[in-house]
Amino acid sequence: MVKCCLSMLVLFVVLAGTALAQPEGGQRGQRGQRPEAGSRGNMLQMLEAAGVKVTDEQKAKLEKIAEETQKVMAEAREAQDRRAAYEAARPKLTELREKAMAVLTQEQLETLKKYREEQQRQRGGEGRGERKRAPQS
């Protein structure tokens, strides 16, 4: 009986310690961490990382689009059936992405395209949603 109680106590302490060690809100660790969507919007962060200079007018438009995107994503995250909510939100997210791209000049788009290609090469050539598969025999 004492062994059983001690085992349960140890298990509780280990689980509680693990739970306390997790970042608040279940955020990802360093490796899988994504830019904080609420800060400036992923598009602005990507443009900055790519070395694309945006005007104050473009920045204001992109921030507004980022806010809309965050709202759509928040609604999807709060839904009971997240998968269905994300699928339903996809057309709106595509529209917002296209709207953001329309804010940029052709030169800015080219710089961004080169940056994305370089990032893809650094990841080993895998694109979004694509996985290298072993040949089937």
Quick one: pLDDT at residue 131?
52
Handedness of CA 44, 48, 49, 50 (dihedral sign): positive
pTM: 0.59
Residue 44, pLDDT > 50, answer: yes
Please indicate, yes or no, if residue 111 is contained in any of the structural domains. yes
Domain that holds residue 63: 38-121
The span from the CA of 43 to the CA of 108, in Å, is 12
Please indicate, yes or no, if residue 7 is contained in any of the structural domains. no
Please indicate, yes or no, if residue 137 is contained in any of the structural domains. no
Reported as a pLDDT band with limits 50, 70 and 90, residue 128 is low
Quick one: pLDDT at residue 108?
94
16 phi/psi in degrees, rounded to 5: -65, -40
CA angle 80, 99, 42 (to 5 degrees): 65
Tokens at 126, concatenated:
């895998």
Residue 11, pLDDT > 60, answer: no
Tally of structural domains, the chain: 1
Helix (H, G, I), strand (E, B) or coil at 92: helix
Length of the chain in residues, anyone? Answer: 137
For the residues of 97-120, what is the DSSP string, one character each?
HHHHHHHS-HHHHHHHHHHHHHHH
Quick one: pLDDT at residue 90?
94
Are 69 and 41 in contact by the 8 Å Cβ rule? The answer is: yes
Residue 45, pLDDT > 50, answer: yes
Please indicate, yes or no, if residue 60 is contained in any of the structural domains. yes
Please indicate, yes or no, if residue 16 is contained in any of the structural domains. no
Please indicate, yes or no, if residue 94 is contained in any of the structural domains. yes
Q: Using one digit for the tens of pLDDT, what is the confidence trace for 81-120?
A: 989 999 999 999 999 999 999 999 999 999 999 999 999 9
